[in-house]
Amino acid sequence: MAMAGAAFMTITSRGAADRLVAFSSPACTRPELHTHINDNGVMRMRQVEAIDVPAGGSAVLKPGGLHLMLIDLTGRLVEGETVEVTLVFETAGEVTVRVPIKGPGATM
């Protein structure tokens, strides 16, 4: 069984700017906000403190960029099913969404 998975989505603000500061999911015990950085020609994942969502704009979480990292999975992620994720925003509070599970290498 895989020990980690990543979640991708587009978060759109219909009002003021906000920041995604955390998330939780019953699918993992260690949720982290991540990005990819170029470290001397090697792409590496790094944890970030928050993800900015601009006023009236969007934050795109995608492979090779910002994403939700589900570490220490509590069970198998089954392709075709969904996983519940509760996003925690600085201003908007908690928003729960269901994210479709896709296989490795799938695009958004």
The 10s digit of each residue's pLDDT in 54-74 is 999 999 999 999 999 999 999
Average pLDDT across the chain, whole number: 92
Q: Is the pLDDT of residue 87 over 80?
A: yes
Q: Is the pLDDT of residue 5 over 80?
A: yes
Cα(15)–Cα(12) distance, integer angstroms: 9
> Could you give the angle at the alpha carbon of 30 between the alpha carbons of 24 and 36, nearest 5°?
95
pLDDT value of residue 41: 85
Domain boundaries, the chain: 4-100
The answer to whether the beta carbons of residues 27 and 77 sit under 8 Å apart is yes
For domain 4-100, give the CATH number: 2.60.40.1890
* Residue 37: how many other CB atoms lie within 10 Å: 11
Q: Is the pLDDT of residue 36 over 90?
A: no
The answer to whether the beta carbons of residues 84 and 74 sit under 8 Å apart is no
